[in-house]
Chain A
């Protein structure tokens, strides 16, 4: 493929406040990563290579949330250098687990955790990328599903709509042949209000859904909560279930607040 590099589109992968798990999903595409690098120039991906090419970039994948003033400025720069900007993962699309700080006094927490908190430069909140700049597509998941990540890159390369369903996890359970853990086992499950994409992993292993992919297209959290309560789930447990990886996504945030 030598000599074709100049015509290839340029991909950049950016990290903000995050655990790197979503970037690892890209590296985890072991069978496909070489083909990806032949189809698209990996121009800026520090987790994979030290070679960094200057912008502008055709496609930027953004992982992580905005938790500092520096990052709030940096994301504007990334947006300015990118034709398409796609956020990957719960941090970038909903603020992530670190958005739990949004309910606490950050200064007080910092004073407990750090010996010299005066050196910290941090915002009061952890927020999604779309709260700061326009985003072209949001890929959900904590972490993202690598097949979905490839699908989004493929769809971008061929300028077609990505096949990313926004319905419930329940549909994936049924396509896979899982027995419903809520109905047959009495296990509280967030699947009916959570977006598909993981392939219904947890119910396949007898666990309720943890909501890693955030709220589905039309989540009726109130109806699900009523059923959980009938099953004997307490308010603190309902609060904890909704206020996790996607706890600052609007539908989950609103439901959690009812159980404070």
Chain B
């Protein structure tokens, strides 16, 4: 889908909201809540984190004021978009018993929302593509996920800066939104001495249709060069790096590396890393009953390989120790995921590093395992 990039002026950005809303989309994007940039439903451009940025390091996130009025001048926050495709709680079905004692099952018939995602980063698009393989691939389709994904519209943003825990260049997932990764439109935000504008590229037919309604003009050479240079600068500023070479074999060969034991001393097994990960998808199922015992519901909710119950089999949990649980997560993310789904499970967004309360850093752990014990 090659065509000339367009320029959308900051002053005209509201037209994007209007165009999305007139098509029946609920716009979801970044906004400031409780001293962090989170993804929520937005009414207008004023809801965006105008003039805010974030500082990130292992176990540390701080919201900071920028000295400009950038709309997307931050990196990524605590949440990923998965909460909108793969919600934390989903009712799977209800069942009731009639007077004759026969069971009646009802599927959950909630209307599938139509979300427009504004501000998704390249690493996050890769996260969605990975979850697509999990939920839509291999013949077993998750209908809840499929419906939400099918109904969505995605406006990506090329990163204008890298965060302290970013390592997308190591994982080959960013910071530039490649044409090959599914999205509808991609924006690059440019602020210079005099101007504030967005270079817009098209990623899909739906994106082209929407763009045709926006007050844009074709981008000139200096403008597209400015956009390319900005993303290239971001790529040079990664806060973390990780050598992904042979990581699958590395982990398979080091299941008894002393580093796992040492890690277990620091790991809280609190599950934060899995909750914030844009690709972690595990759930548990809970049945609830009412007082009469005539009505029941089955709910699915996010679970984590860091909980004891997660590996509960007859007789007890298989992964009792923190060592075994951390090793399970890390080897799945970087190694067995490749065998299972054909790619790494990590997109280098750095959330598991930033939001670990004690700042455990996957890039550091893999580097330590790479060193001889």
A residues near B, CB below 8 A?
32, 35-36, 38-39, 151, 154, 157-158, 160, 163, 165-168, 170-171, 174-180, 182-185, 189, 191-193, 206, 216-218, 220, 222-224, 226-227
Query: Is A220 touching B291 in the complex (CB atoms < 8 A)?
Result: no
Q: Does B224 contact A (CB under 8 A)?
A: no
Is B357 in contact with chain A by the CB < 8 A criterion?
A: yes
* Residue from the list B61, B287, B290 in contact with A184, Cβ < 8 A: B61
Q: Does B198 contact A (CB under 8 A)?
A: no
Minimum Cβ distance to chain B for residue A178 (Å): 7
**Stretch of B137-145, B167-175, B266-274, B337-345 at the chain-chain interface:** B266-274
- Within 8 Å by CB of B268, from A39, A176, A179, A223, lies A223
Q: How far is the CA of A171 from the CA of B309 in the complex (A)?
A: 13
Q: How far is the CA of A178 from the CA of B355 in the complex (A)?
A: 12
Assuming the contacts A171-B307, A217-B308, asked whether A191 and B34 have C-beta atoms less than 8 A apart, the reply is no
Say whether B83 contacts A177, CB under 8 Å.
yes
Is the beta-carbon distance between A218 and B272 smaller than 8 angstroms? no
Within 8 A of A (CB), among B254-272: 265-272
- The answer to whether B59 touches A177, judged by C-beta atoms less than 8 angstroms apart, is no
In the complex, what residues of B have CB within 8 A of residue A184's CB?
34-36, 61-63, 78
User: CA A178 – CA B88 in complex, angstroms?
Assistant: 13
Question: CB-nearest residue of chain B relative to A189?
Answer: B357
A174-B272, A180-B272 known; 17 new pairs, CB 8 Å cut-off, are A32-B291, A35-B291, A39-B292, A157-B291, A160-B289, A163-B286, A170-B357, A171-B270, A171-B304, A175-B301, A179-B34, A180-B78, A183-B355, A184-B35, A184-B36, A192-B270, A220-B266
Q: Which of B34, B287, B289, B292 has the most CB of A within 10 A?
A: B34
Name the one of B61, B63, B79, B268 contacting A224, with C-beta atoms under 8 angstroms.
Answer: B268
Query: How far, in whole Å, are A224 and B269 apart by their CA atoms in the complex?
Result: 11
A205 → B minimal CB distance (Å): 10
Instruction: For the complex, give the distance between the alpha carbons of A167 and B268 in Å.
Output: 11
- Could you list some 14 contacts between A and B, CB below 8 A? A166-B309, A167-B271, A168-B268, A171-B271, A171-B304, A175-B88, A175-B275, A179-B33, A179-B34, A179-B38, A189-B357, A220-B265, A223-B358, A224-B357
Query: Which residues does chain B contribute within 8 Å of A38, judged by CB atoms?
Result: 291
Which residues on the A side are within 8 Å of B83 (C-beta)?
177
How many angstroms from the CA of A166 to the CA of B310 in the assembled complex?
11
Knowing A166-B309, A175-B89 are in contact, say whether A220-B267 is a contact too (CB < 8 A): yes
Contact, CB under 8 Å: B289 / A183: no
Rounded to whole Å, the gap between the CB of A80 and the closest CB of chain B is 28
Q: Tell me the bound Cα distance from A183 to B355 in angstroms.
A: 6
Taking a contact as CB atoms under 8 Å apart, the answer to whether B268 and A193 are in contact is yes
Give the nearest-CB partner of B308 in chain A. A217
Q: Known: A163-B288, A217-B308. Contact between A183 and B269, CB under 8 A?
A: no
Q: Contacts of A168 on B, CB cut-off 8 Å?
A: 268-271
Cβ contact of A170, chosen from B35, B270, B301, cutoff 8 A:
B270
Count of chain B residues with Cβ under 8 Å from any Cβ of A? Answer: 47
Closest A-chain residue to B288, C-beta based? A163
B322 contacts A by Cβ under 8 Å: yes
**Considering the complex of A and B, which 4 residue pairs feature the smallest CB-CB distances, nearest first?**
A174-B275, A192-B270, A179-B34, A167-B307
Decide: A227 near B289, CB < 8 A? Known: A177-B83, A179-B36.
no
Residue B354 interfacial (CB < 8 Å): yes
Complex CA distance for A167 and B79, rounded to whole angstroms:
20
Taking the complex as formed, is B248 at the interface, i.e. its CB lies under 8 A from any CB of chain A?
no
Query: Is the Cβ of B272 less than 8 Å from the Cβ of A170?
Result: yes
Given contacts A171-B275, A183-B60, contact A217 B33 (CB under 8 A): no
CB closest chain-A residue, reference B296: A158
Interface-centre pick from B89, B265, B270, B302 (highest chain A CB count, 10 A): B270
A183–B291 CB distance below 8 A: no
Enumerate chain A residues within 8 angstroms of B307, measured Cβ to Cβ.
165-167, 171, 217
Closest CB-CB distance, B305 to chain A, in whole Å? Answer: 11
- Residues from chain B with a CB closer than 8 A to the CB of A224 are 268, 357-358
Which residues of B are found within 8 Å of A175, using beta-carbon distances? 88-89, 275, 301-302
Residues of A within 8 Å of B101, CB to CB, are none
B276 at the A interface (CB under 8 A): yes
B293 within 8 A of A: yes
Per the bound structure, the CA–CA distance linking A191 and B88 in Å amounts to 19
Q: Per a CB cutoff under 8 Å, which of A157, A183, A206, A220 touches B354?
A: A183
From A36, A158, A185, contact of B293 by CB (8 A)? A158
Closest chain-B Cβ to A148's Cβ sits at a distance in Å of 12
B residues less than 8 Å from A189 (CB atoms)? 357
* Beta-carbon contact of A165 and B287 below 8 Å: no
- Bound-complex Cα distance A165 to B276 (A): 19
In the bound complex, CA of A160 to CA of B36 (Å): 41
Residues of B within 8 A of A220 (CB): 265-269, 322
| Whole-angstrom CA separation of A178 from B78 in the bound complex | 9
**Residue with the greatest number of chain A CB neighbours at <10 A, chosen from B36, B286, B322:** B36
Q: Is there contact, CB below 8 Å, between B267 and A223?
A: yes
Most buried by B among A163, A183, A189, A218: A183
Residues on the A chain within 8 Å of B35, using CB: 179, 184-185
Instruction: Point out the residues of chain A lying under 8 angstroms from B358, CB to CB.
Output: 192, 223-224, 226-227
Which single member of B301, B302, B355 contacts A180 (CB below 8 Å)? B355
Please report the C-alpha to C-alpha distance between residue A183 and residue B62 in the assembled complex, in whole angstroms. Answer: 8
A167 partner residues in chain B, CB cutoff 8 A: 270-271, 304, 306-309
